Amino acid sequence: MQKQPAPGSCHYRYTSAKEPLPDPACTPGAVSPAVTPATLAQTICRASGYTKGIRPPVSVTGPEKRANAASYGYTGDLHDAEYDHLVSLELGGDPNDPRNLWVEPPSPGHRPGGGPNNPKDAVESRLHTAICSGRVPLRDAQKAIATNWTTALTTLKIK
């Protein structure tokens, strides 16, 4: 298990639409050194299996999620929150660096008990497609999602 920030030391931010953002001091994002512009075809842009092969097991992420929830002071049902990679694995994010993981609370419109609802996933998929098609440089996409996932597509001019 990776060491997490001290309990209560991290603070959520929210967009005007009430979408959650992590504390940039606690969760600035971290990228995998194995994913570079030169390795895209062998890593995130290969046909299948990349993220499955690097994702940490629940035996690791479960205890980390509980510890990270304490870092953020999250007291909601953990089944409704996602232990999320700020820079997703499909964008070359580091799989288990604590700087890249945060307990992401539910987005607006969430039904309690309904499990995580994460509109960030759709943004990640569109960025992945843009990277692998050569429309957006890897590092630009990583920086945009780590800065503010809700504005990443607009920042990079992806429709």
Tens digit of pLDDT per residue, the chain (159 long)?
788 999 999 999 999 999 999 999 999 999 999 999 999 999 999 988 898 889 888 899 899 999 999 999 999 889 889 999 999 999 999 999 999 999 999 888 777 877 667 889 999 999 999 999 999 999 999 999 999 999 999 999 997
Residue 145 lies inside a defined structural domain of this protein: no
**Residue 115's pLDDT is what?**
66
Q: What three-state secondary structure class fits 106?
A: coil
Q: 71, exposed or middle or buried, with CB in 10 Å at 0-12, 13-18, 19+?
A: buried
Residue 38 lies inside a defined structural domain of this protein: yes
**Residue 43's pLDDT is what?**
95
**Residue 112's pLDDT is what?**
80
Residue 110 lies inside a defined structural domain of this protein: yes
Residue 6 lies inside a defined structural domain of this protein: no
Contact between 78 and 65 under an 8 Å Cβ cutoff? The reply is yes
Neighbours of 84 (CB within 10 A): 23
Place of tokens 């690791």: 60
**Residue 2's pLDDT is what?**
85
**Residue 49's pLDDT is what?**
82
**Residue 94's pLDDT is what?**
96
Residue 91 lies inside a defined structural domain of this protein: yes
Question: What does DSSP say about strands 101-104 and 82-85: parallel, antiparallel, or unpaired?
Answer: antiparallel
Helices 138-147 and 120-132 cross at an angle (nearest 10°) of: 170
| Containing structural domain, residue 75 | 13-117
Residue 69 lies inside a defined structural domain of this protein: yes
Residue 60 lies inside a defined structural domain of this protein: yes
Residue 155 lies inside a defined structural domain of this protein: no
**Residue 48's pLDDT is what?**
85
Count: domains in the chain:
1
pTM to 2 decimal places = 0.91
